[in-house]
Structure formats: structure tokens, C-alpha cells
Amino acid sequence: MADIWLPNLLTNTPQEGYELAVKLSRAAVRITQSNPAVRNDLRAVYEKDAEALIATAAVVATNFQTVAAANNYWRN
């Protein structure tokens, strides 16, 4: 991972922060499973699994907590 794709966690609004949290979550999956074909095959399984979707929401929520703290729970 030589490229810097995340220069900081600062966002202007909570909505932008949430979108960044989703991006962080998706990046973790993409980095962990680098094969797009395998990711696509797995998506067909977890998109119909309520427990997997709840777990996904929990990961996004954790990332949102991190982004919110980095933004001083919105500095504006």
C-alpha cells in the first residue's frame, strides 16, 4: 500500500463523516480480499444474510465513531 488514499479523517459534516466511515469499511474488505471475483462471489452470499448485514453495520458504526472523534464531534 504505497499510495496514500486517506490523508486524514477530517470532514466538514457528520454526513461526510458517515460516508467516510463507509469508505473505510469498504476499503478494509477490498484490502483484505484483493481478488474482485472472490469479493463478488462472496457478496451473493452475505447480501442475503441478516447477521452478516448487521455485522457490516457494526463495522461502519465503529468507523463512524473514529471519524466523529477525529472531527471533535463536529467542530463547526
Question: Could you read off the pLDDT of 15-45 as tens digits, one per residue?
Answer: 999 999 999 999 999 999 999 999 999 999 9
76 pLDDT above the threshold of 70: no
46 pLDDT above the threshold of 80: yes
Q: Are 67 and 9 in contact (CB under 8 A)?
A: yes
1 pLDDT above the threshold of 60: no
CA distance 56 to 60: 6
Helices within the chain (DSSP H only): 14-32, 36-46, 50-70
Q: Are 5 and 65 in contact (CB under 8 A)?
A: no
Q: Which three cell numbers stand for residue 42?
A: 462472496
